[in-house]
Amino acid sequence: GVILTDPKARLPGNRYVVKADAGDVSVLETGAGSFLLALSYRARAVLAERLSLGIEDEAGAVSLVQALMLGYRQGIPAETREAFARTGSLHILAISGMHVGILAGLFLLVLRSAGVSRIHWVWYLIPFLGFYTLATGASVSAARASLMAVCYWLGPALRRKPDPMSALGLAALVLLVVDPHDIVNPGFQLSFAVVTGLLVLTPPLLGWLQPLAQRDPWAAGDEAGWLTQSRGMLTKLLALLSVSVAAWLASFPLIAWHFHLVSPIALPANLVIVPLTFLILTAGAVSVSLGWILPGLSFLMNHAVVGLSCLLLGTIELLEKVPWGHWFVPSPRLGWVLAWYPVVALVLWGGRQWRRVGLVSCLFLAVVMAGTPWFAQPTSVTGKAMGEASVYLLRSGRSTVLIDTGPEYQSRTLIDWLRELGVNRLDGLVLATPSLRHAGGLTDLAQAMPIGEVLAAPPALHTRGFESLLDVTMDRKGRPLTIRRLAEGDRGSGYGALHWEVLHPPGSEDLKTMRDSALVIRWMEDASSWVHYPYLTPALMATIADQPRLATSRVILGGVLEDPGHWPERWWMAVGPERLILSAEALQSLRTADRNGLIGELKRRGVEVELIAD
């Protein structure tokens, strides 16, 4: 093959394109990898085939059980992974303590049935869990769980009482010695935080909740049998609730910090999802372990997995739709995250007075870290480059407006960026440039979050692809979007303190190209205003400069620029910009000489320049 510098790269020489024909590829060497890894992956493939025996047509159930048992997550659709994440259940798709615990428990049950002494269990457990960890991808959570299990059962082998906290600490130490960078890995932090929370927080929480299921010791007479059984079931349910609350308290600030997500629906969700996952894992373990001897049993267990998987996926889908079951927030300050844990400890172990202080502090921190969507925001403009286009987010009060979406292939980046900013809903979406390069992400965005209304330019002769996009895009509930066509002179409000006015295009002329129909909107708040130009040409500037109502414009959002050396003087006088926000697209549209000339002119006029970053 030949390595060529991409002449279209934004930074020539820093990006390359490799062009080669399939016939040029040749295998240089085989069999040089790790024998143990190769054996683990072959075993993983065989087990995956065993888990699909008889249910090959049930793709959803097969992909789910293979993910739960073997770490094969590639077969799970992105929408399903999103649903698991929003309901706080994504942890079941990562090989972790629950998965390792169930399989290790079944393995130890076999050893016990075979008469193996308890002090020798660890020597059988080490190769079993090591092989399983390698076969499932050796993730941090799997390695932590396996190391902790080995360290825990190492106690009896050394004639010592097993201690979970010591095992957890030793597992963390071993992983950090192998790779010290794991300390900043979100998976490492969450894995150890959750397990520590389970070990430390569950006992006091259970102590608070268990009296709810206990009979009044002063009650007279014998209790009915059904009532005693009900109390037993309630005790188990409260124990599961204690575990769920402990895990949520331990993970809440870290998930908000790393993934910008708050998911209170996870508390009730785990009461259903964890037992279902346990049943699926148990059925899968029986299928792959005993199916070699009794193929019919493997067939039967796999069909049980189908029913359980359908129930699990249906539960996830239902919980995802619960209003305010989850929402996205900006990353809280590190100080708030670190303060959360001692405050929770104060609530659980402090005296009566300190417990009240801790409870108030805990509520305060929860509101500060999770309540951002309800806080009124000052009016602001934030921009970001999305491939060949740029997008802008306007915020005022509790309202948010997005200008353009960027191309379709950047939709994932756009959605992640909005979630990082804590945006859960768009009150308005302005499609200022009627092209797929600037609006192609509309379909994915409409599926990711509610959109109050779409503001678009009137149709033009050469914008059929854009018009088709508007026609076929539906929201998450399968309903068409509310689309409002705008033209010069249209005005509106309703986005916090913002008012808006359309300066272009004229509504009475036949529009032919996307530049003819591009929306130029002036956004106003008191004495401040912003004008967004998708295309900034001398002709357009001259037309808009004749409109006297521009006298208060202060901030300009620049799109594609043309001929900056001949911008009309009356435009400078009419607009009088103090700040010019330039997109990457705008800079790319200029030659080096024009770019330097524009920057010099802006400096001469005292205009502050801000560049939109990737």
Is 336 part of any domain? Answer: yes
Give the β-pairing of 579-582 and 555-561. Answer: parallel
Give the β-pairing of 389-397 and 399-403. Answer: antiparallel
Band (pLDDT 50/70/90 cuts) for residue 613 is low
Is 606 part of any domain? Answer: yes
Q: Percentage of residues in the chain with pLDDT exceeding 90?
A: 26
The average pLDDT across 464-484 equals 90
The average pLDDT across 351-377 equals 88
What pLDDT score does 508 carry? 67
pLDDT at 294 over 60: yes
Radius of gyration of the chain (CA): 30
What pLDDT score does 609 carry? 78
pLDDT at 216 over 80: no
Band (pLDDT 50/70/90 cuts) for residue 341 is very high
Is 222 part of any domain? Answer: no
pLDDT at 401 over 80: yes
What pLDDT score does 2 carry? 40
| DSSP code per residue over 302-361 | HHHHHHHHHHHHHHHHHHHTSTTS-EE-PPPPHHHHHHHHHHHHHHHHS-HHHHHHHHHH
Is 570 part of any domain? Answer: yes
Q: Are 399 and 427 in contact (CB under 8 A)?
A: yes
Number of domains composing the chain: 3
Do 242 and 386 lie in one domain? The reply is: no
pLDDT at 547 over 60: yes
What pLDDT score does 175 carry? 85
Is 524 part of any domain? Answer: yes
Do 184 and 277 lie in one domain? The reply is: yes
Lowest average pLDDT, out of 166-180, 211-225, 461-475, goes to 211-225
Do 127 and 97 lie in one domain? The reply is: yes
Q: Are 503 and 518 in contact (CB under 8 A)?
A: no
pLDDT digits (tens, 9 = 90+) for 487-498: 888 999 889 889
Do 449 and 369 lie in one domain? The reply is: no
Is 296 part of any domain? Answer: yes
Is 32 part of any domain? Answer: no
pLDDT at 427 over 80: yes
Do 307 and 383 lie in one domain? The reply is: no
pTM: 0.83
- Average pLDDT of the chain to the nearest whole number: 83
Lowest average pLDDT, out of 25-29, 36-40, 119-123, 222-226, goes to 222-226
Do 273 and 406 lie in one domain? The reply is: no
Kindly report the CA angle at 246 between 366 and 180, in degrees rounded to 5? Answer: 90
Range of the domain at 253: 201-214+237-262+329-375
pLDDT digits (tens, 9 = 90+) for 149-203: 888 888 888 888 888 888 888 888 988 998 898 888 888 898 889 989 999 999 9
Q: What are the phi and psi torsion angles at 598 (to 5°)? A: -65, -45
What pLDDT score does 570 carry? 72
The average pLDDT across 415-439 equals 93
pLDDT: which is higher, 29 or 349: 349
Q: Which amino acid does the sequence have at 525? A: E
For residue 548, the domain's CATH number is 3.60.15.10
pLDDT digits (tens, 9 = 90+) for 564-581: 666 777 777 777 777 878
Band (pLDDT 50/70/90 cuts) for residue 446 is very high
The upper half-sphere exposure of residue 248, i.e. CA atoms within 13 Å in the direction of its Cβ, equals 22
Do 592 and 466 lie in one domain? The reply is: yes
Do 405 and 256 lie in one domain? The reply is: no
Band (pLDDT 50/70/90 cuts) for residue 440 is very high
Band (pLDDT 50/70/90 cuts) for residue 12 is very low
Indicate the helix (H) or strand (E) that contains 2: strand 2-5
What pLDDT score does 450 carry? 94
Kindly report the CA angle at 69 between 67 and 70, in degrees rounded to 5? Answer: 70
Do 362 and 410 lie in one domain? The reply is: no
pLDDT digits (tens, 9 = 90+) for 227-278: 777 877 888 888 889 999 999 999 999 999 999 999 999 999 988 998 999 8
pLDDT: which is higher, 419 or 586: 419
Kindly report the CA angle at 289 between 285 and 292, in degrees rounded to 5? Answer: 140
The average pLDDT across 370-384 equals 86
Is 11 part of any domain? Answer: no
What pLDDT score does 566 carry? 67
What pLDDT score does 167 carry? 85
SS3 content of the chain, % helix, strand, coil (to 5): 55, 15, 30
pLDDT at 14 over 60: no
Do 151 and 132 lie in one domain? The reply is: yes
pLDDT digits (tens, 9 = 90+) for 103-126: 888 888 889 888 888 888 989 999
Q: Which residues pair with 451 in a beta bridge?
A: 426
Q: Are 133 and 142 in contact (CB under 8 A)?
A: yes
Q: Are 396 and 525 in contact (CB under 8 A)?
A: yes
Do 384 and 285 lie in one domain? The reply is: no
Give the tokens for residue 254: 């870290």
What pLDDT score does 5 carry? 39
Q: What are the phi and psi torsion angles at 501 (to 5°)? A: -150, 135
pLDDT at 545 over 50: yes
Do 440 and 520 lie in one domain? The reply is: yes
Give the tokens for residue 401: 């407006």
Band (pLDDT 50/70/90 cuts) for residue 9 is very low
Q: Are 504 and 474 in contact (CB under 8 A)?
A: no
